[in-house]
């Protein structure tokens, strides 16, 4: 039975409990003008807030786009006091209101709030992400918050596009996706230095040793040496000789003692295996080229489409700023 065919992104959107994604409002050709006069519910995190006696302005972003949606709360509404008091930068807000024509420059619409709830407050005195751009070294010290930076959000969208295109390419050609183990005793033909996995390192107990003085791995969790995989090739080859065309796409680990930009301790690797290829000396079809060339073309197309969508919606100059 052939595998599923993936030809395009699914068009159906699930309801999200009545919430509309901000990208579906502003990342369209008319930048939201067609929604003027309609009532919608949005949810996201406050990028900036400007509170005045007569009005509260909030730039809200839900992670689906680089673009923010400007929320306006006026006195007399139930949301005004809550947003003025609690909706600091970084807070999570869900709001219902009406899309109106904006009176500001360089923007088409505003969102006038009629009802809002601060679902997660933030102490603005300690929240570390400011409106300004942050260096990558700074973002590394706040792993739980760095996805909120526009830089990491953009990188994540590109990775998502690459992963989707990878599966789409192989699935549409009848390949089976194989999950290979992350913990293994194989070094896969010495592909690289390996991270060791053990449960024997404990302050309470000494590391068990044999009579010869070497580490006694028989006392370890797996009763032998175990490591993080450097490649899923060995395991996926066994599936290839029983299921035909297969591929694995997952994390691999290399423990080379190098801390340069050219070395990654963890990365995702794509490894296809194709069965029944002619032996040496027989007419050989260039199978590798037949797979690699269209795959790279599709991957580049996916990345460019993702980048173009981001750039068109928000402007190339500001796409990668925080």
Give the model's pLDDT for residue 276: 82
- Averaged pLDDT for residues 79-92: 87
DSSP sequence for 59-112: EEE-SS-S--EEEEE-TTSHHHHHHHHH--TT-EEEEEEEEEE--STT-SEEEE
Percent of the chain predicted with pLDDT > 90: 33
At residue 176, does pLDDT exceed 90?
Answer: yes
At residue 48, does pLDDT exceed 60?
Answer: yes
At residue 322, does pLDDT exceed 70?
Answer: no
Give the model's pLDDT for residue 319: 40
Q: Could you give the residue range(s) of every CATH 2.40.50.140 domain in the chain?
A: 16-127
Q: Based on the number of CB atoms within 10 Å of its own CB, is 162 exposed (0-12), middle (13-18) or buried (19 or more)?
A: middle
SS3 state at 55? coil
Give the model's pLDDT for residue 20: 92
CA distance linking residue 252 with residue 264, whole number of Å: 10
Percent of the chain predicted with pLDDT > 70: 85
Give, in order, the Cα–Cα distances in Å from 320 to each of 1, 106, 153, 231, 272. 44, 19, 9, 33, 33
Please say whether the structural domain 16-127 has been given the CATH code 1.20.120.530.
Answer: no
This prediction has a pTM of: 0.76
Give the model's pLDDT for residue 281: 56
At residue 3, does pLDDT exceed 60?
Answer: no
Give the model's pLDDT for residue 46: 92
Q: Residues 39, 43, 46, 49: what is their CA dihedral angle, to the nearest 10 degrees?
A: 20
Domain 148-194+230-314 adopts which CATH fold? BirA Bifunctional Protein; domain 2 (3.30.930)
In this predicted model, what pLDDT tens digit does every residue of 180-207 receive, in sequence order?
999 998 887 676 789 999 988 877 788 8
Q: Could you give the residue range(s) of every CATH 3.30.930.10 domain in the chain?
A: 148-194+230-314
Instruction: Please give the structure tokens belonging to residue 135.
Output: 């260096």
CA distance linking residue 228 with residue 151, whole number of Å: 30
Give the model's pLDDT for residue 313: 44
- Averaged pLDDT for residues 257-262: 80
CA distance linking residue 231 with residue 252, whole number of Å: 6
Q: Based on the number of CB atoms within 10 Å of its own CB, is 63 exposed (0-12), middle (13-18) or buried (19 or more)?
A: middle
Give the model's pLDDT for residue 1: 46
Pairing status of strand 109-120 against strand 92-101 = antiparallel
Pairing status of strand 69-73 against strand 39-51 = unpaired
At residue 14, does pLDDT exceed 90?
Answer: no
Among residues 265, 167, 187, 296, the alpha carbon closest in space to that of 232 is found at 187
3-state helix, strand, coil in the chain (%, to 5): 30, 20, 50
């Amino acid at each position: 039975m052939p595998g599923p065919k993936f030809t395009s992104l699914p068009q159906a959107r699930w309801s999200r409990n009545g919430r509309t994604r901000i990208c579906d409002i502003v990342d369209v050709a008319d930048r939201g003008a067609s929604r003027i006069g309609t009532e919608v519910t949005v949810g996201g995190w406050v990028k900036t807030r400007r509170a005045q006696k007569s009005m509260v302005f909030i730039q809200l972003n839900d992670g689906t786009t680089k673009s923010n949606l400007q929320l306006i709360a006026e006195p007399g509404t139930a949301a005004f006091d809550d947003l003025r008091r609690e909706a600091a930068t970084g807070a999570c807000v869900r709001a219902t209101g009406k899309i109106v024509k904006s009176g500001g420059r360089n923007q088409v619409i505003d969102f006038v709030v009629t009802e809002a709830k601060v679902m997660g407050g933030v102490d603005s005195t300690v929240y570390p992400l400011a409106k300004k751009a942050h260096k990558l070294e700074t973002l590394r010290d706040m792993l739980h918050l760095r996805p909120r930076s526009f830089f990491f959000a953009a990188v994540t969208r590109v990775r998502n596009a690459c992963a989707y295109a990878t599966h789409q390419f192989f699935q549409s050609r009848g390949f089976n996706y194989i999950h290979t183990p992350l913990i293994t005793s194989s070094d896969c033909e010495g592909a690289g230095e390996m991270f060791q996995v053990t449960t024997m390192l404990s302050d309470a107990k000494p590391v068990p040793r044999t009579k010869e003085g070497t580490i006694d791995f028989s006392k370890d969790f797996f009763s032998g040496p175990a490591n993080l995989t450097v490649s899923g090739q060995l395991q996926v080859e066994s599936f290839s000789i029983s299921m035909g065309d297969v591929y694995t796409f997952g994390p691999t680990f290399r423990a080379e003692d190098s801390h340069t930009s050219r070395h990654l301790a963890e990365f995702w690797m794509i490894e296809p295996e194709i069965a029944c290829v002619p032996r040496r000396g027989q007419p050989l079809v260039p199978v590798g080229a037949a797979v690699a060339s269209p795959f790279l073309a599709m991957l580049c197309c996916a990345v460019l489409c993702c980048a173009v969508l981001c750039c068109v919606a928000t402007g190339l100059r500001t796409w990668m700023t925080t």
